Amino acid sequence: MFEILGFWSKARPSWRATKALGLTIVLSAVILSGLGTANAQTNWTLDPTASVLTYQSVKKNTIVETNKIRNISGSLTSDGDAKITFDLNSVDTGVDLRNVRMRFLFFETFKFPTAELTAKVDPAAFADLPTKRRMKAVLPFRLNMHGVDKDLEANVVVTMVSDNMVSVASEAPVAVHVEDFGLLPNVDKLQQAANVTNIVPTASVSFDFVFTADGSKPALAQTVAANTEVGPVATDAAKTNFSDEECLNRFAVLSRTGAIYFRPASARLDTQSRPLLAEVVGVVSKCPGLKVEVSGYTDADGPVAENKRLSERRAQAVADAIVGAGIPRTQITATGYGEERPVAANDTPKNKALNRRIEFSATKLVN
């Protein structure tokens, strides 16, 4: 898992990180509102080049890994309305394969690309900030992630760096529980992909977010810009093409999502498959030098010959959908393997579902 385990752990921290980030936003909003007492119309914007969000996860019960969510944006209005958005495609583990596992297997960014934190801050709670310069608080916020809304709270420290700049930081790491957002099943996917166990389902998130008054210059931007571990990063959407290694990483992980669906005993694609198919098309389009094979597999129920034909039809249906989205047919092939190459024993409904799958692999195109 990046071992997928590390990745998954991170995923969870990422989740926590998002949560912590949301809390930070809320506190930040409050403080900024306090600052706004000098100017009732002041709005504030999060400075992504000076803000940091890190999360720690634990794998194999004792191995701790620290990673980040790099692309964040946020605002706080003079009325105390705070909102922060986290780009989950910017998860940064330091290793491309781990990043992809976290995105596709844990966060399922092909369906839920962002997380969002919202809060309503009472400006009166931080009216003394301009004088005290530093205050602590426990603030509530709502986090939307993976299609789930959750009301949370966190301990934060708000520091008035200058009349136009406020820092909101975690007083202590924030613990986030993956199951609260329906992400616990995705932990299994990470563990299977990395061939590891014992990923702790709770992550610790720390943050330091800087807000600047609208119209003012983010004073820390030039200093932080030199630090490549802080601030925004380019995501897949900004890349023209992937390297061969990046292509292979993405195909391997997309094959493990289990997010391509068919009707029972049918090769008709279910509409729920569209988000992942769109992701696959995006990856194939950025791997023009590779020929992609769509492989279909079934469980062991039913006659072997019928399973082989069904897997062939399903693989062809996926290939046709990819070609229909604009990918040259010369770049796509389809093969059905039936019940061959099972990834689990065909002894339980869960294991059988794992064997009914579509996989993607790639080789160099021959001119």
Residue 16 scores a pLDDT above 50: no
So what's the pLDDT on residue 22?
A: 41
- Looking at residue 261, what is its pLDDT? 96
Q: Do domains 4-225 and 244-364 have the same CATH topology?
A: no
Ranges of H-type helices in 146-260: 184-194, 221-225, 244-254
Decide yes or no: CATH 3.30.1330.60 for domain 244-364.
yes
What residue segments make up the domains of the chain, in order of their start? 4-225, 244-364
CATH class of 4-225: mainly beta
What distance in Å separates the CA atoms of residue 212 and residue 74, rounded to the nearest whole number?
A: 11
pLDDT digits (tens, 9 = 90+) for 45-80: 999 999 888 888 777 778 888 889 999 999 988 888
| Most confident among 53-67, 111-125, 127-141, 249-263 (mean pLDDT) | 249-263
Strands 290-297 and 332-336: parallel
Q: Per the confidence metrics, is the pTM higher than 0.95? A: no
Residue 240 structure tokens: 């023209």
pLDDT tens digits, one per residue of 150-194: 998 888 899 999 989 999 898 988 888 899 999 999 989 988 898
Rg over alpha carbons for the chain, rounded to the nearest Å, is 23
